[in-house]
Amino acid sequence: MNILVIGGGGREHALAWKLAQSPRASKVYCAPGNAGIARDVECVPTDVSNTAALAALAGELRADLTVVGPELPLALGVADEFARHGLKIVGPTKAAAEIEASKVFAKRFMERHGIPTARFTVCETPGDAYSALCSYEYPVVIKADGLAGGKGVLIGHSPDESTSILERLMEKRELGAAGARVVLEEYLEGEEVSFIVLTDGTTILPLAPSEDYKRVFDNDQGPNTGGMGAYSDENILSPQVGAQILGEVVEPTVRGLAAEGRPYKGFLYFGLILTAAGPSVLEFNARMGDPEAQPLMLRLQTDLLEVVEKLAGGQLGGVQLDWRADAAVCVVLASRGYPGEYETGQLITGLEPAEAISQVKVFCAGVQQSASGFATAGGRVLGVTARGRDLRAARERAYEAVSKIRFHGMHFRRDIGARALQRLERQRA
C-alpha cells in the first residue's frame, strides 16, 4: 500500500515512522514533511491549507490511504474533499472537526450532552466579556474560540491581567479571527491527562494514556505552547478511572456527534483534568496529540497501518492494540523565543549520537536542510523520545539523548515526567 501522511511536524514524523514499519507499506509519503522526516520517508511539498491540492496529490501518488496530522486541513474540510474523490482518509469531516475548531461549539456541545466540563460563559463582544468577568473567581481561564496553534488558552490571575488578555484577544486581535469570540471558564484544580481514542463512529479504541506539558517553562510556568514534552506509561490512570472516562466522557461524545449528524472517524483527543469530583473535559482535539504521538508510537506494538485501514473502512470492531509494558518520554527542544517570535536557521548537531543510544528516536518538527547540515526552521524543533523499563529509566535515557544535541538558543523543560515519578515514589513509600 502507498500511504500519505499530511503535515510536517513531530507528530507526523512519529506517525509516518510507525506506518513505514508495516510490512504492507510499499511507500510512505509525508506532505510537506521536513528535512528531518525525509531521513525516514519521502517528503513531498504541498500546502496543507489547500484541500483540493491535497486530494490531487493523493491521486498523483496513488495513495491507498491518507492519514491527517494537523488540525487546519481537517477544519477546512480535507476529509470531505477526499470523500468527493473517492479517496480513503483517516480524519473527521469538517462538521465533526468543529469540536476542536470552535471552543464555543465544544462547550455548548458538552452542555447539550451532559459531558462534564467547567462552568463557562460565551462572550461575543468585549463588553460581554468584561461584564462576565465579575461572575468568576480568579484565576479564570480565557479561551479564544478559533484555532490558535495551542496558544489560545490563557489564564487571568487578577482582574487587571484578565482585562488585558481580553483586550489583546478581542480588541487588538493578536490571534486574528480566532479571538473574535472568547469563552470564559472556571479554573479547575487537578492532574491533567491526555486520553486519545481511535473511532470509526461506532467502535471506540482507546490508546494508552499519556500526559503532556503545555507551559513553556519548568514547574508549569510561562505561557502555553503547542506542547513541550509528554510521557506515557501504565501508571497514569487506574483501570477504574479509565472506565469512568470512557463511560462519562468518550462514549457520550461519540454518540452525541453521531446524533447531531456529525459522525466522527479518526483520532479523537480528550484533554482532561482529574478533579476531586471526577474527570472533566478541558478541550477536544480532532486529531492525534502532539507531542503525545511521539511516546505513544514508540510504545505501540500493533501494526498501525492495519488499524487505520480498518478505521477508514468502518471496521474497527474486534481490533485490539498491544502496548509495550515499558514507559516512553518525549522532551521537546525549542528555539529561542518560542512560543513568541523565535529564531530559525541555527545549525543542529548531535542527532546521530543521540539516536545511537538504545531505544531513542529523535522526531523532527521544525527542521530544514542548510549548506552545513540540518538547521532549525520552527518554534518546536525536535522531540527527543526514549523508552525504558519504567518511567525513571525512560526519562534518564531521554535526557541523556538531549545532552548530545546542540543548537544556538536551544531550550527545553527539565521536568518532563518528574511530577509523575515523585507521585509514584510517594505511593511506594
**Residues 6+ positions from 366 with CB-CB distance below 8 Å:** 9, 34, 335, 344, 376, 377, 378, 379, 380, 381
Q: Are 225 and 214 in contact (CB under 8 A)?
A: yes
- pLDDT attached to residue 48: 97
pLDDT at 78 over 80: yes
Average per-residue pLDDT in the chain? 96
For Cα atoms 274, 279, 285, give the angle at the middle one, nearest 5 degrees: 95
Query: What is the H or E stretch that residue 29 is in?
Result: strand 27-32
pLDDT at 373 over 80: yes
d(CA 22, CA 25) in angstroms, rounded, equals 5
How far is Cα of residue 332 from the mean position of the Cα atoms in its chain? 13
Residue with cell 474533499: 81
- pLDDT attached to residue 209: 94
- pLDDT attached to residue 98: 98
pLDDT at 120 over 80: yes
- Report the pLDDT averaged over residues 414-419: 95
- pLDDT attached to residue 149: 80
How far is Cα of residue 281 from the mean position of the Cα atoms in its chain? 15
- Report the pLDDT averaged over residues 76-101: 98
Single out the residue of 55, 61, 23 nearest to residue 42, CA to CA.
61
Residue with cell 478581542: 170
- For residue range 24-51, list pLDDT tens digits in order: 999 999 999 999 999 999 999 999 999 9
Sign of CA dihedral 23, 264, 11, 386: negative
- pLDDT attached to residue 425: 78
d(CA 75, CA 81) in angstroms, rounded, equals 12
- For residue range 316-351, list pLDDT tens digits in order: 999 999 999 999 999 999 999 999 999 999 999 999
- For residue range 140-180, list pLDDT tens digits in order: 999 999 998 878 899 999 999 999 999 999 999 999 999 99
- Report the pLDDT averaged over residues 383-399: 97
- For residue range 257-308, list pLDDT tens digits in order: 999 999 999 999 999 999 999 999 999 999 999 999 999 999 999 999 999 9
CB atoms near residue 117 (< 10 Å): 22
**Buried b vs exposed e over 272-281: b needs ≥16 C-beta within 10 Å?**
bbbeeeebbb
Q: Are 264 and 199 in contact (CB under 8 A)?
A: yes
pLDDT at 136 over 80: yes
Q: What is the dihedral of CA 314, 195, 223, 331, to 10 degrees?
A: -90
pLDDT at 429 over 70: no
- pLDDT attached to residue 277: 93
- pLDDT attached to residue 105: 97
- pLDDT attached to residue 426: 78
Confidence grade of residue 427 (pLDDT, cut at 50, 70, 90): confident
Sign of CA dihedral 177, 182, 187, 190: negative
